[in-house]
């Protein structure tokens, strides 16, 4: 007996497939034990079902189709070796995600099952950060390629980010040391010091306590806070491009209700 295929004549079947794939991903999130140190995070492997992961893993997107990541002139020029396709929730809603394989993953990760899973796992962190701030939730999604010369210095992510999810698209022969590094500041008073959004820090001020292995379909998730210092070691000559996907829930200020005259 062969598995039925989804056709344009059966759009409800496509929706069911999205629901089923989201439920499988949510199962992994809910049933992965959160790691507590140096900040709460999930390390998941594998995260996506093969029907989602394999088509994206096989993508060959030319550099000419990717946008160059530019980040100021304050010692972070190495980040210009990052190239990406970037989408927002509005792009997804208006069907402007130009690569079908990425559009499907974006729809799955934006599903209510996934939001509920992450918001349950990181409930304490999100209450501490947003309990007194009315917000609405948006999403963003990126396909990323980091080439030789790229390095991401220790940072915590923007205060507007609610959940950050990184999914590695490693291929056979890729260096497993190119996963995300987690850091402990040598001076823990840094946890209590506000700093500009996306600020980068000198690596000498941190202990690298863990490097998550850069392996196919491995993933890292966390709720950004002043404690979530992480980064990426340099991509060196002779190493292949570091490919990954990044999905985020983002906080927007909640709209104020109209005032009664």
Of 37, 20, 11, which Cα lies nearest the Cα of 207?
37
- Is the CATH code 2.60.120.620 the one for domain 12-193+205-253? yes
Q: Over its length of 261 residues, how does the chain's per-residue pLDDT go in tens digits?
A: 333 444 455 767 777 899 999 999 999 999 999 999 999 999 999 999 999 999 999 999 988 899 887 765 454 577 888 999 999 999 999 999 999 999 999 999 999 999 999 999 999 999 999 988 888 999 999 999 999 889 999 999 988 999 999 999 999 989 999 999 999 999 999 998 876 666 889 999 999 999 999 999 999 999 999 999 999 998 886 767 899 999 999 998 876 655 555
pLDDT at 229: 96
pLDDT at 3: 38
pLDDT at 43: 98
Q: What is the pTM of this model?
A: 0.91
pLDDT at 256: 60
pLDDT at 76: 58
Give the dihedral sign, CA 94/96/97/101.
positive
Domains of the chain, residue spans: 12-193+205-253
Of 157, 260, 237, 211, which Cα lies nearest the Cα of 43?
211
Torsion of CA 73, 76, 80, 82, to 10 degrees: -150
208 in Cβ contact with 151 (< 8 Å): no
């Amino acid at each position: 007996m062969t598995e039925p295929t989804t056709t344009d004549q059966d759009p409800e079947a496509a929706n069911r497939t999205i629901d089923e794939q989201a439920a499988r991903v949510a199962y992994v999130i809910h049933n992965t034990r959160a790691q507590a140190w140096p900040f709460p995070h999930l390390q998941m492997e594998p995260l996506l079902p093969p029907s989602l992961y394999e088509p994206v893993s096989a993508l060959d997107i030319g550099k000419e189709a990717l946008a160059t990541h530019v980040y100021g002139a304050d010692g972070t020029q190495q980040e210009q070796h990052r190239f990406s396709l970037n989408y927002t929730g509005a792009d997804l809603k208006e069907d402007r995600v130009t690569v079908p394989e990425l559009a499907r993953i974006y729809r799955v990760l934006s599903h209510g099952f996934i939001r509920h899973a992450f918001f349950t796992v990181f409930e304490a962190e999100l209450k501490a950060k947003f309990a007194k701030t009315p917000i609405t939730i948006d999403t963003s999604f990126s396909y990323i390629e980091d080439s030789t010369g790229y390095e991401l210095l220790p940072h915590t992510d923007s205060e507007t980010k609610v959940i950050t999810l990184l999914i590695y698209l490693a291929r056979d022969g890729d260096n497993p040391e190119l996963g995300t590094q987690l850091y402990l500041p040598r001076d823990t008073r840094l946890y209590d010091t506000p700093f500009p959004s996306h600020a980068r820090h000198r690596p000498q001020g941190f202990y690298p306590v863990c490097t998550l292995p850069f392996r196919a379909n491995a993933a890292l998730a966390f709720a950004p806070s002043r404690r979530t210092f992480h980064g990426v070691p340099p991509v060196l000559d002779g190493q292949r491009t570091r490919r990954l996907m990044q999905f985020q829930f983002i906080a927007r200020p909640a709209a104020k209700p109209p005032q009664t005259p």
